[in-house]
């Protein structure tokens, strides 16, 4: 019997302390169902297996947060100058992500690995803001990298977005590419320098549905992105080598703290159909798990989000179960489940 694998903590004081925040929030997009995902993942035994098989000490308040106390009575769509569509639920998303950032920070500042279970992808504004701040405090102002695994780039600004859904904008806000709108600076005005990531420390994997305005942003900012075309061309092994090297986490490199934001729609809808914006031609289950395993192996992973599981969005019950299973597997792989 070998010692159970756990995160090898280059940037964490303890390899077995795990903070979990369950976020039942769907206001970053329009489809109901995504708020029920944390409960489904937990009921499927996710936290139990992290406790029992991977031997983590799990710090969880046993709640799925819907942040009702932070949701404003009135939150009209916000039409910013030159926008194609008004921002939807702007104050709600801003307030909820702010509260989430504090919760994530609480865990991360104690040196715990933080797992955030969504919820739609807008919540990454909060989880990244909270982790980035704690990492800076603990590591002498050190920046954190983000690996964003997704069919989508989620880097629309309020101006480029065609939908107004904030789950298509989190990367723009957390990197500072989008500023709080002049029309209402209250929205995301709470994000400070200590919460932000540097866009050069961001890397995408799995992209295949990127809006024209987003492509322009990616090009103009020289953002490193591996699309499904790259996965086909190089294979996932080479893509991971290149992606990790970009964030200084390759073999022989110094490493930097890494936050993994995993949108389940990066996986092919054949294996993870229950998600709000499925796109054909995605990652296989093994490719998804492999990405998580590779990041685990660097010893640099400090936090992970799993988002966009929507059990009402799939065709049938089987699809929902498969999506949950896939989600649980991704988390376990990122936290050190190794097959042999």
Structure tokens at 114: 């933080």
Per-residue CA distances from 214 to 106, 149, 177, 307 (Å): 33, 16, 11, 20
Q: Considering only residues 35, 265, 293, 322, which one is a binding residue for Mn ion as defined by CB under 5 A? A: 265
Interface mask (CB under 6 A) for ligand ARG, residues 162-181, using x and -? -x-x-xx-------------
Buried b (16+ CB within 10 A) or exposed e, 136-165: bebeeeebbbbbbbbbbbbbbbbebbebbb
Query: How many residues in the shown chain lie near ligand ARG by CB under 6 A?
Result: 14
CB within 8 Å of 256: residues ≥ 6 apart = 11, 142, 143, 144, 145, 201, 247, 248, 249, 300
Task: In whole angstroms, give the CA distance from residue 336 to residue 293.
Answer: 7
Phi, psi angle pair for 326, to nearest 5°: -60, -45
Q: Please state the closest distance from residue 161 (CB atom) to ligand ARG, in A.
A: 5
Q: Which of these is catalytic: 120, 214, 230, 263?
A: 263
8 A C-beta contact, residue 306 and residue 288:
no
Q: Please state the closest distance from residue 111 (CB atom) to ligand ARG, in A.
A: 29
Q: Considering only residues 12, 99, 118, 154, which one is a binding residue for ligand ARG as defined by CB under 6 A? A: 154
Q: Considering only residues 12, 35, 114, 211, which one is a binding residue for ligand ARG as defined by CB under 6 A? A: 211
Q: Please state the closest distance from residue 340 (CB atom) to Mn ion, in A.
A: 32
Q: Please state the closest distance from residue 103 (CB atom) to ligand ARG, in A.
A: 21
Taking each helix axis from N to C end, the angle separating 90-109 and 124-138, rounded to the nearest 10 degrees, works out to 30
Active site residue 152: yes
Interface mask (CB under 6 A) for ligand ARG, residues 63-102, using x and -? ----------------------------------------
Structure tokens at 227: 């699309």
The answer to whether 263 contacts Mn ion (rule: CB under 5 A) is: yes
**Cα 272 vs. chain centroid, distance in angstroms?**
16
Q: Please state the closest distance from residue 276 (CB atom) to Mn ion, in A.
A: 8
Q: Which of 175, 164, 103 is nearest to 134 (CA)?
A: 103
CB within 8 Å of 335: residues ≥ 6 apart = 6, 7, 18, 50, 54, 56, 113, 115, 296, 304
Interface mask (CB under 6 A) for ligand ARG, residues 104-133, using x and -? -----------------x------------
The answer to whether 208 contacts ligand ARG (rule: CB under 6 A) is: no
Q: Considering only residues 47, 64, 150, 236, which one is a binding residue for Mn ion as defined by CB under 5 A? A: 150
Q: Which of 94, 100, 122, 3 is nearest to 54 (CA)?
A: 3
Q: Considering only residues 308, 320, 329, 337, which one is a binding residue for ligand ARG as defined by CB under 6 A? A: 308
The answer to whether 138 contacts Mn ion (rule: CB under 5 A) is: no
Active site residue 315: no
Q: Which of these is catalytic: 35, 209, 214, 265?
A: 265
The closest residue (CB) to ligand ARG is 168
Q: Where would I find the beta strands (DSSP E) of the chain?
A: 17-23, 57-59, 64-65, 113-117, 145-149, 202-207, 224-227, 258-263, 301-307
Q: Which of these is catalytic: 152, 211, 259, 296?
A: 152
Q: Which residues are catalytic?
A: 121, 150, 152, 154, 167, 263, 265, 308
- Give the footprint of ligand ARG on this chain (CB under 6 A): 121, 152, 154, 156, 161, 163, 165, 167-168, 211, 263, 265, 277, 308
């Amino acid at each position: 019997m070998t010692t159970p694998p756990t995160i090898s903590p280059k940037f964490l004081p303890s390899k077995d302390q795990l903070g979990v925040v369950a976020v039942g929030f769907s206001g970053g997009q329009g489809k109901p169902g995504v708020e029920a995902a944390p409960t489904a993942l937990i009921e499927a035994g996710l936290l139990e297996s992290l406790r029992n098989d991977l031997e983590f000490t799990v710090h969880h308040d046993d709640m799925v947060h819907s942040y009702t106390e932070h949701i404003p009575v009135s939150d009209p769509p916000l039409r910013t100058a030159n926008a194609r569509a008004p921002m939807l639920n702007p104050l709600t998303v801003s307030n909820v992500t702010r509260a989430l950032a504090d919760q994530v920070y609480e865990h991360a500042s104690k040196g715990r690995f933080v797992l955030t279970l969504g919820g739609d992808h807008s919540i990454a504004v909060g989880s990244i803001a909270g982790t980035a701040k704690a990492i800076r405090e603990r590591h002498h102002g050190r920046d954190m990298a983000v690996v964003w695994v997704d069919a989508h780039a989620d880097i629309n600004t309020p101006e480029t977005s065609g939908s107004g859904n904030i789950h298509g904008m989190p990367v723009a806000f957390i990197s500072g590419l989008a500023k709080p709108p002049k029309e209402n600076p209250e929205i995301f005005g709470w994000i400070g320098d200590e919460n932000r990531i540097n866009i050069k420390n961001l890397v995408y994997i799995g992209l295949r549905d990127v809006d024209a305005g987003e492509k322009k942003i990616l090009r103009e900012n020289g953002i490193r992105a591996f699309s499904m075309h790259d996965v086909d061309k190089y294979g996932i092994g080479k893509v991971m080598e290149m992606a990790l090297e970009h964030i200084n986490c390759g073999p022989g490199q110094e490493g930097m703290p890494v936050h993994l934001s995993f949108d389940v729609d990066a996986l092919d809808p054949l294996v993870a159909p229950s998600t709000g914006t499925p796109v054909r031609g995605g990652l296989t289950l093994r490719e998804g798990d492999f990405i998580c395993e590779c990041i685990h192996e660097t010893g640099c992973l400090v936090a992970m989000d799993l988002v966009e599981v929507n059990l009402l969005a799939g065709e049938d019950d089987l699809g929902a179960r498969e999506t949950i299973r896939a989600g649980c597997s991704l988390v376990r792989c990122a936290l050190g489940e190794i097959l042999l």
